[in-house]
Chains A and B, each alone.
Chain A
Amino acid sequence: MIKVEGLYHSYSNDENYAVKNANFEIPKGEIFGFLGPSGAGKSTTQGILTGLLQLQKGNVNVAGYDVKNISQKMFNKIGMSFEQSNVYSKLTAKENLDFYRKLFDGQTREPADLLKLVGLDGKENVRAGEFSKGMKHRLTFARSMINNPELWFLDEPTTGLDPAIASEIKDIIRKENNNGVTVFLTTHNMFIADELCNRVAFIVDGEIKLIDSPKNLKLQYGEQLVDVEFRKNGTVVKETFSTIKEEEKQRLQKVILDYEIQSMHTKEATLEEIFIKVTGRGLV
């Protein structure tokens, strides 16, 4: 569905690259997670893939179209939800969708159904200008599915939403994917990525550091960890130890011998911990 080779992009048209030598391929039907801290180059990459930004260097093929000479027809197959919501604030939620659906050629979805899906039912006739940030974001998200896209670009779809709604959005993405939609998911929320993605790419400073499935990553990097609570000088202390690193194993042994253990649980490394370990960087 997507093939990217040797992609570079510089906003200042010099060696100062926002995206550096990106290579990846996304097969049909996959949810591909594009993960990285803010400023890593995620939105830039997505912008080039959707033709918003001029392709400067590299080969990019999206949904069978060469991005070098984009045809407007390509967008009948593509949906895009923006990081910054961008709807007409002077139009109502329904008017926004009613207008947008007319800009596509094929079958489009009913605005009322979409608004219900994202929990905006009852707000159809309210102008988007009166919406909260989260509601605008949901409207932007709903709009991106109106043309029944085969390939769906989602830039931070859950950022700024409260957890309950984020979880609903996650379910919608999974459901669409089950119907065969390929998803390019840009996020810095590792929990969502972990739950949804078939594969993830870690991107830092414009460079893709690795691409793999969350499961493989956990097998490969996810050492077994132990959470231990113990009583030390009258207070309860909580610490996490690796069961692989020699030094930590010895410290764990010492704790068990010297102190009174209150509880002890093993746990799997999270995607976030793996990200930090691989890239040496946090996610914010």
Chain B
Amino acid sequence: MKLWHSFVKEILLASRGFYFYVEIVMAFVFLFLLLFVIPDNFSNKSTEYLYLDLPKAAADAFMEFSVAEDLDQQGEAVEIKSGKNIYPANLIETDTSKIYYLESAEAVIQLAEDEKNFGGIVKLNEAGDGLAYEYYLQGYESERMKNLLLLFHNTEMSKLEETFNAQEVRPLSDGFEPLTDKQNMVPVFLTFNGSFMGMFIIAAYIFLDKKEGVIKAYAVTASSVWQYLMSKIGVILTTTLVSSLIITIPVMGTQPNYLLMVIFLLATGFFASTLGLFLASFYKDIVAAFGAIYGLIIVIMLPNIAYFIPSWDPVWLKIIPSYPMLEGFKEIILPGGDAAFVLWTSLGFLVAGLLLFVFSNKRYQHSLTV
């Protein structure tokens, strides 16, 4: 009962404070970004500028071939604005690249330089019986890329095609739509705005209370310090749930397993808030704690990098709590995700959180002053 009263009071305090709204407003900002700014899938089409320095007949043949590759089998007359200049061009868009055919070699060279894109000029070779390519690269392309271009132009196409076709590609799972790039962002927001934000906010609440000295006043009542700490965690879990659902429901609809998600949010939110409590118990105010908080931010952001660059995934990264959190949230929103993994991970966070809570409670009891 006292725990409930403390919780109600903490909610009242939070509603009159600043941090509560930060998290909610951030959730809406992220939601806006996800819905209106971030595309379903990031475009990774390369942009190329080409000029055909060929006799009319050869150029027409080349264009005919190129137009056939276009998504709607026709070129589009466009104007490229670059700096003060405007270049008319014929745009061919395939599923991997946007190729602009320009009207002069100078235009290609200028654009390749100004827009930092790939430029090329196609000519007849010296013998006059084949094509020669002149590339304008940026200078930072890798050797592999340059070798690829060499290989491309010095090997017979049919041989390359044979090799490609001989490679067997097997999908790891089937029957499920993979997540779109946009949906793939959701676990990141859930991990950082949902769970980990709670760590900073609870620390901020504790520092406010330390400044006002109200913990001492609580310590001389017939209610225990653990109830005071737990009521704060309750507030954090509430805002974690609210801010996470604000993001997830509009973006993911009915796809996620929401029961699993609530369990995971509570477990990870509990862990993050006890970590915040523990951290705050060592410092007198937020300024003194700043270094530790900053260091912690860096560490928990690392798994984020691995999340977006699958090829970088060292083993030590997996012990950083945000790593399993990201994985867990991904399993939750993935159709047919691994529920057992999520539940076991939840249990892990719960146990770790309980341990931190017991330590923190001891620390707060023993660090009271008069």
Instruction: Report A's interface with B, CB cutoff 8 A.
Output: 43-44, 46-47, 50-54, 72-73, 75-76, 78, 80, 82-91, 95, 99-100, 102-105, 140, 143, 147, 155
Contacts and interface: CB of A to CB of B under 8 A. Distances in A.
A75 B223 CA distance: 9
Contact of A53 (B1, B217, B221, B370): B370
Nearest to A74: B222
Interface stretch (B11-19, B78-86, B154-162, B271-279): B11-19
Interface string B22-58: 0000000000000000000000000000000000000
A103 B212 contact: no
Contacts of B370: 43-44, 46-47, 52-53, 82-83, 155
Given A86-B217, A100-B221, A52 B369 contact: yes
B216 A86 contact: yes
Contacts of B221: 72, 75, 100, 103-104, 147
B216 A53 contact: no
Nearest to B2: A103
A86 B212 contact: yes
A88 B214 contact: yes
B222 A75 contact: yes
A100 B13 contact: no
A82 B213 contact: yes
Given A95-B9, A100-B217, 6 more contacts: A46-B370, A78-B220, A83-B370, A86-B214, A103-B223, A104-B222
A172 to B, nearest CB: 19
B219 interface: yes
Contacts of A52: 216, 219-220, 368-370
A72 B216 contact: no
A88 B5 contact: no
Contacts of B17: 90
A148 to B, nearest CB: 12
Contacts of B224: 72
A90 B13 contact: yes
B218 interface: yes
Interface string B196-225: 000000000000000011101111111110
Contacts of B2: 102-103
Given A46-B370, A88-B13, A95-B12, A102 B214 contact: no
B144 interface: no
Given A43-B370, A53-B370, A90 B222 contact: no
B366 interface: yes
B217 A47 contact: no
Interface of B: 1-2, 5-6, 9, 12-13, 16-17, 212-214, 216-224, 366, 368-370
A54 B219 CA distance: 13
Contacts of B6: 99, 103
A88 B212 contact: yes
Contacts of B216: 52, 82, 86
Given A72-B224, A87-B212, A155-B370, A103 B13 contact: no
B212 A72 contact: no
A91 B6 CA distance: 13
A89 B214 CA distance: 10
Contacts of B218: 103
A72 B217 contact: no
B216 to A, nearest CB: 6
A215 B86 CA distance: 102
A85 B222 CA distance: 20
B5 A102 contact: yes
6 contacts: A52-B368, A86-B213, A87-B214, A90-B17, A103-B5, A147-B221
Q: Which 4 A-B pairs have the closest CB atoms?
A: A86-B213, A47-B370, A103-B221, A103-B223
Contacts of A82: 213, 216-217, 370
A102 B231 CA distance: 14
A50 B12 CA distance: 29
B220 A50 contact: yes
Contacts of A103: 2, 5-6, 218, 221-223
A86 B219 CA distance: 12
A213 B22 CA distance: 58
Contacts of B219: 51-52
Task: Indicate the member of B2, B12, B13, B222 with the most A CB atoms within 10 Å.
Answer: B222
Contacts of A44: 370
Contacts of A54: 366
Contacts of A75: 220-222
Nearest to B215: A86
Contacts of B9: 88, 91, 95, 99
Nearest to B368: A52
Contacts of B217: 82, 86-87, 100, 140, 143
Given A44-B370, A52-B370, A102-B5, A90 B16 contact: yes
B50 to A, nearest CB: 66
Nearest to A71: B222
B214 A51 contact: no
Most chain B beta carbons < 10 A, residue from A53, A88, A89:
A88
Contacts of A76: 222
B223 A72 contact: yes
A147 B5 CA distance: 16
